[in-house]
Amino acid sequence: MSAYLAALFKDIHQKTGLNFVYMYDQFEYRRMIDGVWTSAELIVLCLICSIIFGLVGAAARESKSRILFMIVGAYVEFFRNTPPYVQLLFFYFGIGSVLPQIDMGGYFEPLIGRFGWAVISLSLFGGAFVTEIFRSGIESVPRTMREAAEALGYSRIQTFMHVVLPLALRFCLPALGGILISLLKYTSLAYAIAVPEVTYTSQLIWNDNFNVIEMMITLFIFYNLAVMFFSLLMSSLEKRLALPGYG
């Protein structure tokens, strides 16, 4: 099957000049697959960490401690109103240069590498938006539910975990899906700190083979497929979690 595809694309290259190198050249194929895989890892890690930061942030906004409320408020406002690209550079170059370096024998390697900083920076950025989404979801849970839980003897944390959070999740799922898709697209910024994800790898390939347009088409296809797959995932999740007769 792959031999057939390779022959097909080589044929297309000879007949029309459209050069999809990574389809018939083993080296470029390996590079492309590595790039796609790194991109997929980056996307999955960023989405999961954003949701975790968002949950922590939303829970902190719910808490009675005034200091926690203000710290999380400052975090959300800062990360929402500053450019994500500059945040990434600040984390990787700025903070990365003052962290300790590990002696590897002949050279020194920084404690957190490019991929790590990309995940940290993008997750903090996404977490700020997800915090707001979860907060709006939590606020839209009717107060009657909380009062009913209190009447049944649930503690504050128990109410939050067993009553408020499941309902809030179902209310905010559409908006959450939109934000996560937006974050998926922002992961391409990791290109700027030379994380070898699909945009960076495509550039390496088109630098070697001068097939910019074909690699651009590939990039468009990759991101469109990724977003469509994720949208499908979110809508099937919405259907599964839908409460019968509620909204």
**Of the residues 6, 40, 68, 89, which one makes contact with other proteins according to CB under 8 A:** 89
- By the rule CB under 8 A, 95 interacts with other proteins: yes
- By the rule CB under 8 A, 235 interacts with other proteins: no
- The set of residues, in sequence order, having a beta carbon less than 8 Å from that of 2 and lying 6+ positions away, is none
- By the rule CB under 8 A, 100 interacts with other proteins: yes
- By the rule CB under 8 A, 80 interacts with other proteins: yes
- By the rule CB under 8 A, 104 interacts with other proteins: yes
Map residues 105-144 to x or -, x wherever contact with other proteins holds by CB under 8 A: ---x------------------------------------
SS (H, E, C) the chain: CHHHHHHHHHHHHHHHCCCCHHHHCHHHHHHHHHHHHHHHHHHHHHHHHHHHHHHHHHHHHHCCCHHHHHHHHHHHHHHHCCCHHHHHHHHHHHHCCCCCEEECCCCEEECCCHHHHHHHHHHHHHHHHHHHHHHHHHHCCCHHHHHHHHHCCCCHHHHHHHHHHHHHHHHHHHHHHHHHHHHHHHHHHHHHHCCCCHHHHHHHHHHHHCCHHHHHHHHHHHHHHHHHHHHHHHHHHHHHHCCCCCC
Residue with smaller CB distance to other proteins, 110 or 146: 110
**Min separation Cβ 241 and other proteins, Å:** 24
- Which of the stretches 18-26, 55-63, 74-82, 155-163 binds other proteins when contact is defined by CB under 8 A? 74-82
**Min separation Cβ 2 and other proteins, Å:** 27
**Of the residues 37, 69, 154, 223, which one makes contact with other proteins according to CB under 8 A:** 223
- By the rule CB under 8 A, 70 interacts with other proteins: no
Count CA within 13 A, CB hemisphere, residue 196.
12
Q: Which two tokens stand for residue 75?
A: 């975090």
- By the rule CB under 8 A, 81 interacts with other proteins: yes
Question: Quick check: 57 and 76 in contact, CB under 8 A?
Answer: yes
* Distance of alpha carbon 13 from alpha carbon 211, whole angstroms: 11
- Which of the stretches 9-17, 20-28, 161-169, 224-232 binds other proteins when contact is defined by CB under 8 A? 224-232
- By the rule CB under 8 A, 33 interacts with other proteins: no
**Min separation Cβ 184 and other proteins, Å:** 8
Restricting to residues 164-203, which ones interact with other proteins according to CB under 8 A? 181, 185-189, 191-192, 199
List interacting residues with other proteins (CB under 8 A): 77-78, 80-87, 89-90, 93-95, 97-98, 100-104, 108, 181, 185-189, 191-192, 199, 212-213, 216, 219-220, 223-224, 227-228
